[in-house]
Structure 1
Amino acid sequence: MEIAHRTHIGLVRDLNEDSIHLFRSKCRRVVAIVADGMGGHQAGDVASQQTIRIMERYLAPIQFQNTTEDKSNHLLQAVGKANEQVFSLAMRNNQYQGMGTTVIGAVIDLKEVVLAHVGDSRAYMLHDGGLYQLTEDHSYVNMLQKHGQITAEEAKNHPQRNMIVRAVGTSDEVEVDLITTPWEKDDILLLCSDGLTTMVSEREIGEVLSQAGETMEEKADRLLQMALHAGGKDNVSLILMKHRGASSPS
């Protein structure tokens, strides 16, 4: 597997509240996580970092079975434990009240990717030259769009486009989307915070990922620079992974 990752404060924010992490579980499964924190007084930073730390602590010792159900269940448990502990931390500390974070976590093996998703960070798959969004934003604007109350164009500039309706750590329970997708040779998986997707269009992302002759490091640099060139109004984080064949996850 060819991997590249980037996280950047952007050009406007005073603090990078995004956190990203890659590690291997006990059985050598690759696990990738992107979390985009929210909350004042550095609370978003705390929420995203704690979520990743808790998920790694739970998932790293796991001897994953080869079933989709097993991987999904462990991801669900990991996000649940993160939610419980981040919420508890917020309740015990006034400076952390109201903090929360998005999360997109992936367990990758030879044939499939299993994802757990909360919030508006996203996962995309480039397959056979086509870019597919694997996740659905848990945002107020997406709800309005789904119900036909605003158009896709109106959603891009809506004053509440950053409002999410699900987050880790904001209540004692969290609803998690579980997604499974095939994973084949030459596929590229992208996990990212909305600091990328609000600055760079899906068409542009697809063009970068499908460009032949570039390494994942070069593609990651291009995507980051495009987000910054477009204004860099938020923290920008991304993880890129390319399936290299039979020995990819080992």
Structure 2
Amino acid sequence: MQIAFHTDSGIKRQENQDYVGAFTNQVNRVMVMVADGVTSTEGGDVASAMAVEHFGHAWEQTTCNSMLAISTWLKETAVYVNDVILAASQRYEDLNRMATTLVLAVIFDDQIIIGNLGDSKAFLLHKNRLKQISFDHNLRNELLRAGTITKKAAEELPNGDSVTRFLGVDDQTNIEIDQHPFLQKDMLFLTSDGITKVLSNANIKRIMQEKISLDLRAKKLIASANQQGAPDNVTALLVSRDDEKDTN
């Protein structure tokens, strides 16, 4: 398995509110994460860093090695991390509304667990098909999933992209957890929404499949998004099931 990740403020932002990391627990189970500070509030950079670092360091202390145990741990830790962010926001007036999205993956031999709050995204490249495997928690999608709005109405919904789940602001922590196959030749892509605002799935897939190192592919995803005028911070985290390293 290979892991590569990079983050950048982007060409239109001076501050980078994204944060990214990879952590290994006591039984060598790997967790990777991307967080994106909510830009409508102050302290998004603080919230995203706190989310990844607290989740990651807590993970390093565990011996969780089953899907059920890890799912339970994720739910409990999301509540804990949310409480930590809330406590910090209450101590500092300029951070009193800070919040962040979070998408994470725990890697098994042939499976992955995906957890997310908000609209940072997880994609799986399998047999030449790139598919988003996380759910974007925004007002439009939540109403569609609940069946309370039609697709046509959803397209015209004011503030439809408003994030509905995150860490911070209040004590309503509802991390969504799912499980997916992760097979030989598959590749996982975690990202904030900066890249997907400007690069199509076809372009993302083309870069992910290039015969260059995984590290260079992550860098190229960011560079390509910036070349297309990415309006937000840009982050790319790639996990390849293969150990073979392309260096061409």
TM-score, with structure 2 as normaliser: 0.89
Partner Cα distance (1:175, 1:229) in 2: 36
* Equivalent pair of 1:126/1:210 in contact (CA under 8 Å): no
Gaps of 5+ in 2: 244-248
Q: 1:193 to 1:151 in 2, by over 3 A?
A: farther
- What's the CA shift string for 1:168-213, capped at 9, x where partnerless? 11211211100111111111001100011112122221222234x2
Partner Cα distance (2:116, 2:41) in 1: 25
Structure 2 counterpart of 1:3: 3
Moved more, 219-228 or 120-129: 219-228
Structure 2 counterpart of 1:123: 122
Q: 1:172 to 1:38 in 2, by over 3 A?
A: same
Partner Cα distance (2:23, 2:35) in 1: 15
Partner Cα distance (2:237, 2:82) in 1: 22
Q: 1:41 to 1:176 in 2, by over 3 A?
A: closer
SS at match of 1:166: coil
Give the fraction of aligned pairs with identical amino acids, expressed as a percent. Answer: 28
Partner Cα distance (2:40, 2:231) in 1: 17
Q: Which runs of structure 2 are paired with 1:11-26 in the superposition (5 Å)?
A: 11-26=11-26
Q: Which runs of structure 2 are paired with 1:93-132 in the superposition (5 Å)?
A: 93-132=92-131
Q: 1:133 to 1:39 in 2, by over 3 A?
A: closer
Partner Cα distance (2:240, 2:174) in 1: 29
Structure 2 counterpart of 1:243: 241
Count of equivalent residues: 240
Q: 1:45 to 1:174 in 2, by over 3 A?
A: same
- What's the CA shift string for 1:37-84, capped at 9, x where partnerless? 12568500110011112112211111122x211121122222221111
Partner Cα distance (1:186, 1:80) in 2: 35
- What's the CA shift string for 1:9-32, capped at 9, x where partnerless? 001112100000112111111110
Partner Cα distance (1:161, 1:10) in 2: 24
Partner Cα distance (1:141, 1:12) in 2: 26
Gaps of 5+ in 1: 246-250
Structure 1 counterpart of 2:28: 28
SS at match of 2:124: strand
- What's the CA shift string for 1:90-137, capped at 9, x where partnerless? 123211111100001111121211121000000010011111111110
Structure 2 counterpart of 1:80: 79
Partner Cα distance (1:17, 1:230) in 2: 20
Partner Cα distance (2:232, 2:152) in 1: 24
Aligned-pair RMSD on alpha carbons? Answer: 2.1
Q: 1:227 aligns with which of 216, 225, 228?
A: 225
Letter matched to residue 202 of structure 2: R
* Equivalent pair of 2:23/2:57 in contact (CA under 8 Å): no
Q: 1:223 to 1:68 in 2, by over 3 A?
A: same
* Equivalent pair of 1:76/1:116 in contact (CA under 8 Å): no
SS at match of 2:189: strand
